[in-house]
Structure 1
Amino acid sequence: MTTGAGLRAAREAAGLSLSRMAQRTHFAKSYLSMVETGKRAVAPDVITAYEQVLGVPLQADFGDPLRIAHEWLVAESPMVVHRRAGRQVGVSLAKALEDRVVELRHLDDVVSSRDLLPAAAKELGEAQELVGTASFSEQVGRRLFTAVGELAQLAGWIAGDAGRYADAQRTYLEGVGAAEQAGDRVLAAQLLSSLSYQLANVGNPRDAALLARTAVRGADGATPVVRALLLERVAWASVKAGDVHATWHALDAVNDSYGRRGAEGSEPEWVYWLDQGEIDVMAGRCMIELGRPHDAEPLLSHAVAQYPAEHAREVALYLTWLAESHARTGDLDAARDAVARAQHHAAIMPSIRTDTRLDAISKLL
């Protein structure tokens, strides 16, 4: 996997200062410094930016993501080693767990839920056992419970994407308990909001809307991008529940909140993926549900064109929405082309969500 140290070595080998790299990549120097020193995760868009500036491939050392997920599954984690040794859990293990959560989260971008779920469930189970049996200080405990909550959100999301909705709901709620132990109300809100998104798609949309609004109300101290994410779930649940006014109100609030975002590095790592393209996709989806496919098409087209091809699941999903926007405006040729592209990406990274969307579009066509 590409590391911060690897990025720094490649930059220094090219004779570029960190300031110059920040200018040429348009990332903040402080953010790149944290990435290169391992204080922030190495996001795919940072790797791509370095590659473009340096003119050399850097992602090759990521290796085979599926192999990495398998090695994660069969290898002993630092938590198991620590527990066997009977040592008190300290800052170093908390940091190791936090780093593993980040790595697992980014693997979810490129590994199918079917292949990643066993590793995520194993990691969560070991982390839960650790906090239930080990001794640690209050400060370390907050970090450990926060990591467990983040793992639960990720494992729940992966389970839901694999169609295991009951497991996902149970995992989300377990994560809320961990977040409460950590005193992290924003993380608890993210877990409840994730559950609301699942309910909006496969449960009762009205319950989903209530849960999503509750998450926003309870997220004291949420940063602008996190608040935008929580409001997106309100918009989606509202449109699925048929509440037009609440949908538009939430979408407007999403844009307002995202517009207040701070500098790179000012948000929790777990919201790294939410950008303007993702916001446009959600707006486009809501517009289709509201019967405005003409307005949805340009938003979806632009977002899909900008999305990294290696994130095949999301590309496939968003292409199905683009196909629906074309179909509902009567451009069936464009709709079939988008479906064919979606099927190509779906074959690379299977997902129950994608399969469900493709079935819906095939019926529409």
Structure 2
Amino acid sequence: MELRAAREAAEMSLSRMAQRTHFAKSYLSMVETGKRPVPDDVVTAYEQVLGVPLSEGPCDPVRLAHEWLVSDSPVAVHTRSGRRVGGSLASALEARVVELRHLDDVVSSNELLPAITKELAEAQGLLRTASYSDAVGRRLFTLVGELSQLAGWVASDAGQYADAQRFYISGVRAADEARNRVLGAQLLSSLSYQMANIGDPNGAALLARTAVRGAEGATPVVRALFLERVAWASAKSKDPDGTWRALDAVDEAFERRGGDEPEWVYWLNRDEIDVMAARCMIELDRPRDAEPLLSSALANYPPDHAREVTLYLTWLAESHARAGDLDAARDVIERARRYADAMPSARTENRLAAVAGML
């Protein structure tokens, strides 16, 4: 994908391209010369201006999600020969959950949720009807808890909040059967995040703190994740002291990382932590402090993770709007809309509407 070559072949100057695409000339120069990553929105803008395709179509994640719906799951395959199941089925399901979890990065919630709920229903049915050893049973209940958390997360992203809460609560019961307190805390912490976002920040803060206290044996990155949700609920509750304490504890926990972590925290890194800190700053009326954190994180973010890029761009736009720079906010929100078109989400729609209302 040669942006510069395509532009020069069309006999268009970099200055003119910057005017037509509304990106800064200096930024486009760095993208063209490889000094910055090549985001999808820049490629799309070049294609629209030049009228030529510049990228090869990636593997269609929606098609992949549909294949999950029609293909046989490990449960169906392993139980055709009898109702006694063993470690091989648990291993197959563990791999399956990991793949579904990573699909959530690139597949819209409306497309992915049916695949997850199908998998969850089959796993729950297996627990009710099959026979297995205690060790295998614990693994299967853990998998049901993890699938329930994923189903809750994706349902919440789709705006199906009551269903999400039901998934989270049923997952807590499965985690309890598996004697996995950390997973149970993850489910409660995830529910607290939804509560903070849809209107009960005080209840969310209490639930998030309860999850932290109950997560005995949590690894450093898991503890950092739970504390992030305490910070967000505290910020939504307009509790600055509680927010800064929680964010300090996030940094302290994350700095102790290094050992084995559950796969479900694969996504939590320094950039994600900075994004959450920035969001809390905006919520507590410190937008200028938030802008550099968001800009830095977005520069490193994979452009194919369109939902998260959209969300983080909306926070960047809000930081500009609250700081009084409405032109910058409008430019950023237009970038966010282009990403949102690639991966629809109730969360992104709500955020785009909220920031547009400020402009």
Deviation at 1:82, TM superposition (A): 2.5
Distance 2:83 2:236 in 1: 50
Amino acid at match of 2:331: D
Which residue pairs with 1:343 in the alignment?
A: 337
Deviation at 1:329, TM superposition (A): 1.1
What do the CA deviations read for 1:251-271 (whole angstroms, capped 9, x no partner)?
A: 0000000011015xx110000
Residue in structure 1 matching 2:246, options 245, 250, 260: 250
Which residue pairs with 1:295 in the alignment?
A: 289
Residues 285 and 62 from structure 1, CA distance in 2 versus in 1: closer, same or farther, beyond 3 angstroms? same
Amino acid at match of 2:248: D
Residue in structure 1 matching 2:351, options 350, 354, 357: 357
1:184 aligned to 2:165? Answer: no
Amino acid at match of 1:253: A
Residue in structure 2 matching 1:327, options 321, 331, 335: 321
Residues 138 and 228 from structure 1, CA distance in 2 versus in 1: closer, same or farther, beyond 3 angstroms? same
Deviation at 1:84, TM superposition (A): 3.4
1:253-272 equivalence runs, <5 A: 253-263=249-259, 266-272=260-266
Amino acid at match of 1:356: N
Deviation at 1:115, TM superposition (A): 0.5
Residues 87 and 132 from structure 1, CA distance in 2 versus in 1: closer, same or farther, beyond 3 angstroms? closer
What do the CA deviations read for 1:257-303 (whole angstroms, capped 9, x no partner)?
A: 0011015xx11000000000000000000000111001000001101
What do the CA deviations read for 1:204-243 (whole angstroms, capped 9, x no partner)?
A: 1111011000000000000000000000000001111121
Deviation at 1:83, TM superposition (A): 2.8
Deviation at 1:74, TM superposition (A): 1.0
Distance 1:109 1:155 in 2: 14
Gaps of 5+ in 1: 1-59
Residues 165 and 240 from structure 1, CA distance in 2 versus in 1: closer, same or farther, beyond 3 angstroms? same
Deviation at 1:64, TM superposition (A): 2.1
Distance 2:325 2:57 in 1: 42
Deviation at 1:62, TM superposition (A): 8.1
1:101 aligned to 2:97? Answer: yes
Distance 1:61 1:267 in 2: 34
SS at match of 2:80: helix
SS at match of 1:85: coil
1:166 aligned to 2:162? Answer: yes
Which residue pairs with 1:57 in the alignment?
A: none
Distance 2:197 2:60 in 1: 32
Deviation at 1:131, TM superposition (A): 1.1
Which residue pairs with 1:44 in the alignment?
A: none
1:149 aligned to 2:145? Answer: yes
Amino acid at match of 2:74: P
1:308 aligned to 2:337? Answer: no
1:236 aligned to 2:214? Answer: no
Amino acid at match of 1:245: D
What do the CA deviations read for 1:153-202 (whole angstroms, capped 9, x no partner)?
A: 00100000000000000000000011111111000000000000000011
Distance 1:62 1:95 in 2: 29
What do the CA deviations read for 1:89-130 (whole angstroms, capped 9, x no partner)?
A: 101000000000000000000000010011011011111111
Residue in structure 2 matching 1:318, options 307, 312, 315: 312
1:54-69 equivalence runs, <5 A: 63-69=59-65
Q: Percent identity?
A: 70
Gaps of 5+ in 2: 1-55
**TM-score normalised to the size of structure 2?**
0.83
Deviation at 1:61, TM superposition (A): 12
1:282 aligned to 2:276? Answer: yes
Larger radius of gyration: 2
Distance 1:94 1:279 in 2: 32
Provide the aligned length of Structure 1 versus Structure 2: 304
**TM-score normalised to the size of structure 1?**
0.82
- Alignment RMSD: 1.3
Which residue pairs with 1:29 in the alignment?
A: none
Contact 2:149 2:190 in 1 (8 A): yes
SS at match of 1:363: helix
Deviation at 1:81, TM superposition (A): 2.6
Amino acid at match of 1:177: R
SS at match of 2:258: coil
SS at match of 2:176: helix
Amino acid at match of 1:163: G
Distance 1:75 1:332 in 2: 49
1:136 aligned to 2:132? Answer: yes
Amino acid at match of 1:334: A
What do the CA deviations read for 1:306-348 (whole angstroms, capped 9, x no partner)?
A: 1000000000000000000011111112111110110000000
